[in-house]
Structures are given as C-alpha cells and as structure tokens.
Amino acid sequence: MKKILFCASLILILGCKATKEVEKIKEIEKIKEVEIVKIEPEKPVIKNVILLIGDGMGLSQVSSSFYFGATEEPNFTRFPYIGLSRTSSASHKVTDSASGAVAFASGIKTYNGAIGMNTRKEHIETIIERVERPDFMTGLVATSSITHATPACFYAHVTYRYKEDSIASYMPKSKVDFFAGGGLRFFNKREDGKDLLPVLSQNGFKVDTTALGKIGTLTTNNKYAYLLADKGLPSKLEGRGDFLPNATKLALDYLSKSKDGFFLMVEGSQIDWEGHASNVQGVVQEVRDFDKALGAALDFAEKDGQTLVVVTADHETGGFALSPMQVRKQWQYDNIQGSFYQNSKSLPSAAHTATLVPVFAYGPMAESFAGIYQNNEIFHKIIKATGW
Ligand code: MG
Ligand code: ZN
C-alpha cells in the first residue's frame, strides 16, 4: 500500500513537474516569438520608382561629369549602391536601345529592334501595363521623340523600332498619365493622314506642343502630353536648356499626387547620339544635363522616403575613353581628353559597345542592386522590391 501511494505521489510530482516544464518551455517560446517579432527589421515600403536611363552611358561617360566643368560633386556620388549590368540582347552580344529597353520595361531579353515584343514577336506586358492599383500613375520623359526606342518599350508593341507612326498610335489608350519629349510629327504628320492629337484629348490628355506646364498647376483629373519637337528635342549644344531636369520636376510634382504610387522613366536620350557622332563636348554636356535630372529625382526621393531611384544605361556608345593628352609625343597626365574608338575613315560612325554599364540605386531596397547581373534583372529587382 505504502509502495503504491509512494508510486502514485511520485507520478503526480513528476507529472506536475512535467506540466510545469512544458508551461515553462511554452513561456520561453512565447518570449522568443515576441523577441523575434521585435528584432525583425521593418519591411521597407516602396510606393514609387524612378528609373533614369542614360542612353549610351558607360562608365567613361559618367566619369566625364567628374572632370569637365564640374563646380559641385556630380549627383552620381549621392547613390550608396552601385552594380554592373550585362547588356547583351537575345539576338546579339552588342544590344541596341530597343532590346535594352524591353529588358528594363518587361524583364526579358529580346532581339535588337523589338518594341514591347519577345523573340517570338508576341506582345510582352510592360511595367506600366502590369500594375493594377487603381490610383497608380505613370510617366515618361525623354529628350528624343517619345516614340523613340527607349520610351516606346514602356507602352507600345511593334516588331521594329523605326515604325514610329505605329508606336505613336499606342499612346492615346496607354496607361501613361504624363509624357514629355519630342515626336510631334508621329502624331500629326503621319503617313496614314490621321491626327492623333484630338485622339489624345479624347482619351483624357491635355496636349501642349509649345512648352512644359508650370509646377503646381497640374491636376489628377487630367493626363498630360507635352510634344515639344517634331522629332528629337535639340541637343544641349544646340540650346535645349533645362528641359530634362524641368520635365522631371514637373512629372514628379504631378505623379506624387497619386495615392497608390507611381512609376516614372526619364531618359537622357542624346548621350547616345553624341556618342555616335563622336562629339566629346556633346557627350559631356548631355551627361551633365542627365546628372541634373538625377538631382531632381534624388531631392524628391530624399524627402519622400518611399521612393526607389535606379539609374542605368542600355549600353555604352562609342568606346568612349578619358585619356591624357599627347603633346609632342609626350603624355600629359594632368590634361584629360575624351576620345572614341572610331577614328579611322573606314568606320563612318562610332557604334554601341558590349562593355558592362553601371547601375546606381538609392532608397528602400537599393542594396539589391549591388553586384553584376543581366540587364533584365533590373526589372525583376524592381518588381521584387515593390511587390508590383
Ligand atoms: Mg534611347
Ligand atoms: Zn545608339
């Protein structure tokens, strides 16, 4: 009997002990859970993305802004994370701007010349078409025609980049809310005789072919179309002025009214053109102008705190180099000059090159842009960061 009692009490004590242990463990686990929740970093919220593309802007083009006429540090220095993009297309080691832009706009590699098309010549959804949020807004700014390869890949789907009339006809019904650039003739002096300016108006655009609007006067009841040249805008050397930074500021002033965030693409289109023309001063001025647009984007993002800014190029143009000058067969290491690989009569103009191009990132999730990756990864990094 005593034995039985002893056994029973032992079981009871041990049992009690066991339940107490379990409770203790549960308590510790609870504390741990609380601790885990506490130490997990807050997920950064990205509302807006500004993608700035310097067409033809390799590292030497970027570097030129550090050497020529810079009175302040270039805005490139404000980016904490830098990566390198591998630019080859699906069809060629040396890409063109069309397939380069499809990589950013739709996340795939395609053939040179494609506008919003994959290698099977099927329409491929763009980042602008993809986002379903009701009050989401989008904008495009370029110093080329707005129907030129780079901006076109964000809203149009045609088999070949030079069909700019066809590209323009995608704009009225596109999800673009704001655009500024050249290309008026592809809307109102078309081969099919149609005038797309009234069609833009019917689709909610306020069209202006004379000047950018004033900051603070744009309202979300309207979309805005600024077509300020027949084809490309004048170059910086020809007196374009501050169109690019001003259009960037105006776009941000308007798009930031969106409740669900925005996507803005800004292109320094003519860095590439001056590269093709082997015009050193032209390249320098176009990069400095693009740098001003970066300043506008970064000033906005710094204040906003929910904006990711990504800057890159589709490819490098011209094999641009910053070399010491040579005077009487002597290198002058303190005198820098720009030059292009094309300097013989057998090559009529400098072409695109296959060199890796830089990627600069600022804002929440900017760290994910460090490293070396394919150009179409830029799209996927943006989608991953934003949840779009
Ligand atoms: Mg371009
Ligand atoms: Zn080019």
Q: How many domains does the chain have?
A: 1
Residue 83, in any domain of the structure: yes
Residue 387, in any domain of the structure: no
Residue 236, in any domain of the structure: yes
Q: What angle do CA 15, 20, 22 make, to 5 degrees?
A: 95
Which is it for strands 330-339 and 321-327: parallel, antiparallel or unpaired?
Answer: antiparallel
* Shortest-distance ligand to the CA of residue 148: 1
**CB-neighbour burial class of residue 143 (10 A; exposed 0-12, middle 13-18, buried 19+):** buried
Please give the residue range of the domain that contains residue 339.
Answer: 48-382
Cα 365 vs. chain centroid, distance in angstroms?
14
Residue 69's pLDDT is 78
Helices then strands, each counted (H, E), the chain = 12, 14
Do the Cβ atoms of 243 and 232 come closer than 8 Å?
A: no
DSSP letter assigned to residue 46: -
Residue 106, in any domain of the structure: yes
Distance 180 CA to ligand 2 centre (A): 20
Q: What angle do CA 238, 243, 249 make, to 5 degrees?
A: 160
Distance 43 CA to ligand 1 centre (A): 34
> Nearest to residue 226, comparing CAs of 183, 187, 180?
180
Which residue out of 89, 97, 269, 278 is catalytically annotated? Answer: 97
How far is Cα 48 from Cα 306, in angstroms, rounded to an integer? 6
Do the Cβ atoms of 314 and 54 come closer than 8 Å?
A: no
- Euclidean distance between the first and the last CA atom of the chain, given in angstroms as a whole number: 74
How far is Cα 228 from Cα 226, in angstroms, rounded to an integer? 6
How far is Cα 370 from Cα 352, in angstroms, rounded to an integer? 24
Residue 349's pLDDT is 75
Do the Cβ atoms of 99 and 87 come closer than 8 Å?
A: no
- The residue with tokens 């979309």 is 223
Neighbouring C-beta atoms of residue 87, cutoff 10 Å: 26
Residue 10, in any domain of the structure: no
Residues (pLDDT < 50) of the chain are 1-2, 5, 7-8, 10-12
Residue 39, in any domain of the structure: no
Do the Cβ atoms of 319 and 353 come closer than 8 Å?
A: yes
Active site residue 235: no
Distance 268 CA to ligand 1 centre (A): 7
Query: What residues pair up with 339 in beta bridges, in sequence order?
Result: 321
How far is Cα 274 from Cα 80, in angstroms, rounded to an integer? 29
Residue 20's pLDDT is 65
* Shortest-distance ligand to the CA of residue 275: 2
How far is Cα 101 from Cα 127, in angstroms, rounded to an integer? 11
How far is Cα 74 from Cα 67, in angstroms, rounded to an integer? 10
Quickly list DSSP for 259-297. TT-EEEEEEETHHHHHHHTT-HHHHHHHHHHHHHHHHHH
Do the Cβ atoms of 317 and 56 come closer than 8 Å?
A: yes
Helix (H, G, I), strand (E, B) or coil at 254: helix
Residue 13, in any domain of the structure: no
Residue 7's pLDDT is 45
Contacts of 303 (CB under 8 A, 6+ apart): none
Residue 252, in any domain of the structure: yes
How far is Cα 51 from Cα 45, in angstroms, rounded to an integer? 17
- The residue with tokens 């800014």 is 309
Distance 137 CA to ligand 1 centre (A): 22
Structure-token pair, residue 80:
């904490």
Distance 267 CA to ligand 1 centre (A): 7
For the chain, the C-alpha Rg in angstroms (whole number) is: 27
- The CATH number for 371's domain is 3.40.720.10
* Shortest-distance ligand to the CA of residue 99: 1
Contacts of 208 (CB under 8 A, 6+ apart): 224, 225, 226, 227, 228
